Structure 1
């Protein structure tokens, strides 16, 4: 059983960390707005978080391959607990200064750049190859549940005790996660420079890029995720509530989001049992379902059908994400896994703010429904395009498709 193995401490640490991370955006938004009274301050603080995360991701991948990943996770979560604790102290004591909170947000964003590659890379060190998909399915199901519950819990805490205290709770969560990660078994550094070679992290970054480009099955899928995030996240977050609210009221959007979350959870549970022979082919075909909600939005379908497509889209996102993570962990050399993961993360995350910035002007020019429809079409094409590459279609797991 996975939760009776060393994976248990990682799972619990990740759960605590994810819950805090899901709560923080809501708590931070209300806390900064209450302290400053200026929405512009909130935008600056959020940019201070995202900027270093993107800028340092490749370096974080190199560190995740150069140092023991347990060490990276412990240090990063201790640092995150410290920065969040200081943000909470500043807000609770009434000493808010934009430069101070922005600087702490910058430090916190930098730490997350080292966390995500190490988290992805450590899973194969904790479970047997046969259990990788089940481990990723369990993590995906938990992440989906946390993304649903986290903002709700944060909202209740903000109302009950204020945003500052909610952020303090997040700080405690990061420290608890560091303790749990510290209980993981000690493993040597995945990658050690050969004798006589001068250590250099940027050289490691370049070598990671070389490995990534050489993986004929990996870079087409990573580029597809770049396009998908470009045309999906911004339009869905911005046009979704706008168009749905205009047609069916604000409550309808909540129903749609809830059904999407249910789809994510259901498919995560199914993938815990289902093992596919060719994971990338299965993941790309299932991932195309994610285009459905945008197409339904663009066609002006009523809430019932939009919710149905959102449910199917959640299924597609879960299947594609779980198979992708499992393929990386199973087929990328352990010594380069964090670096390859960081390149994949950078491509995915960098596309999101671009799409968020572009969707408003595009909707003003051609109309929100038209933009949503074309974004859905591009999404579907991008999801299926990697199947044109034979290495993507034929990459195999070690087991035949079955349910166990």
Structure 2
């Protein structure tokens, strides 16, 4: 078998009615989310003019999301994921509608926006793992990579190209129409989800939801492959996020002294991530998980180390694009692999642990990167490159047989965790 197999899975899954309807509904909802991301910060600045308040509102979303994410994974393993998504999206739709109505009647206060942020954080803590549990129920295992590619790629397209349109909407008509659009957009996904039979996982564990959090953590801890994967994945995202968001900013400011160059670099990295995400839906690399992590970590380590050199702008641009491509492809590969190989009893728990281990560390990544860049931006890139080199070496020392046995052991670990 060749190491790379070209496949037409993107077209195949679009011929599957249930997935296609969910994808369309999610895409419309994501366009609404872009309106929300533009309208709410603008509204906060109109009301207070304070960047500190804006940051604290972002924390009102992030803190409950991080705290409840593992609980959301446990709930997704025990309740129908489509039902969780329906409730979560309705909560967000109603919350945004209330804020829009209050703003329309000039009765909106800052504390109400904090409640809105809290509701969004809680809803996302449950909806994020629920969607990861739902996707394997909509498409066959061989199509999981394409399905995740399409969902994530569409979300990135909406953010990249929808933000400008949302900004024009807010500039022309104000924040209230943008909030109204966001509220209505949730209903499209809810409608698609209502067409899916609400079925509970037949093999779900009998333990309670809170004890299910511990069961899920034990399931991860007892399988060395899962432990290694989650740690490696967290390291990759930790290093790449800081290097792109902080490192490229420092490069643009102190080496090229151009805000335009900064914008071009960030856009290029984002487009690279989009290309990598969509490529994962068209080309599936037929290598085991261990080799994929080794290859991705090694490539990104080299790219980050090279960024520490005194390079011309076009070289930095190429490296930023390649970093985005490799990171985008790897994210889809890992998510699809987990969805297809872990026990259905713990799918939500494992996926929430993966998300928490990557996005949950994002603020720390930015803080550490900010400290390192004070020592000179080469220090940041070299530190990130060395870290990913260690990840590649760590996974490379594992044998192919170890990877195979650890994959088979996932089911055995599930049985022991529920006994």
TM-score normalised by structure 2 residue count: 0.85
2:360 alignment counterpart: 350
Q: 1:140 aligns with which of 109, 129, 152?
A: 152
Question: In structure 2, do the counterparts of structure 1 residues 43 and 304 end up closer, same or farther at CA, with 3 Å as the change threshold?
Answer: same
Question: In structure 2, do the counterparts of structure 1 residues 204 and 257 end up closer, same or farther at CA, with 3 Å as the change threshold?
Answer: same
Question: In structure 2, do the counterparts of structure 1 residues 293 and 257 end up closer, same or farther at CA, with 3 Å as the change threshold?
Answer: farther
Question: Structure 1: where are the runs of 5+ without partners?
Answer: 398-404
Q: CA deviation at 1:77?
A: 0.6
2:248 alignment counterpart: 240
Q: 1:304 aligns with which of 309, 314, 330?
A: 314
2:225 alignment counterpart: 217
CA RMSD of aligned residues (A): 2.6
Separation of aligned partners in 1, 2:301 and 2:33:
27
Q: Find the residue that maps to 1:186 and give its secondary structure.
A: coil
Q: 1:10 aligns with which of 19, 22, 35?
A: 22
Q: Which moved more, 1:241-250 or 1:209-218?
A: 241-250
2:52 alignment counterpart: 40
Q: CA deviation at 1:112?
A: 0.1
1:277 alignment counterpart: 286
Q: Find the residue that maps to 1:272 and give its secondary structure.
A: coil
Question: How many corresponding residue pairs?
Answer: 393
Separation of aligned partners in 2, 1:315 and 1:309:
10
1:401 alignment counterpart: none
2:328 alignment counterpart: 318
Question: In structure 2, do the counterparts of structure 1 residues 124 and 148 end up closer, same or farther at CA, with 3 Å as the change threshold?
Answer: same
Question: In structure 2, do the counterparts of structure 1 residues 205 and 165 end up closer, same or farther at CA, with 3 Å as the change threshold?
Answer: same
2:86 alignment counterpart: 74
Q: CA deviation at 1:75?
A: 0.7
Question: In structure 2, do the counterparts of structure 1 residues 92 and 209 end up closer, same or farther at CA, with 3 Å as the change threshold?
Answer: same
Q: 2:164 aligns with which of 152, 162, 170?
A: 152
Contact 1:67 1:190 in 2 (8 A): no
Q: CA deviation at 1:52?
A: 0.3
Q: CA deviation at 1:46?
A: 0.4
Correspondences of 1:81-230 after superposition (within 5 Å): 81-189=93-201, 191-194=203-206, 199-230=207-238
Separation of aligned partners in 2, 1:24 and 1:380:
39
Contact 2:44 2:53 in 1 (8 A): yes
What per-residue deviation string (whole Å, max 9, x for no partner) do you get for residues 57-80 of structure 1? 011001101101110111111111
Contact 1:67 1:191 in 2 (8 A): no
Q: CA deviation at 1:148?
A: 1.2
Q: Find the residue that maps to 2:224 and give its secondary structure.
A: coil
2:386 alignment counterpart: 377
Separation of aligned partners in 2, 1:379 and 1:167:
41
- Deviant stretches of 4+, over 6 Å: none
Q: Which moved more, 1:185-194 or 1:349-358?
A: 185-194
Separation of aligned partners in 1, 2:167 and 2:302:
30
Question: Structure 2: where are the runs of 5+ without partners?
Answer: 1-11, 408-419
Separation of aligned partners in 2, 1:238 and 1:327:
30
Separation of aligned partners in 2, 1:370 and 1:144:
30
Contact 2:73 2:350 in 1 (8 A): yes
Separation of aligned partners in 2, 1:232 and 1:97:
38
Q: CA deviation at 1:193?
A: 4.5
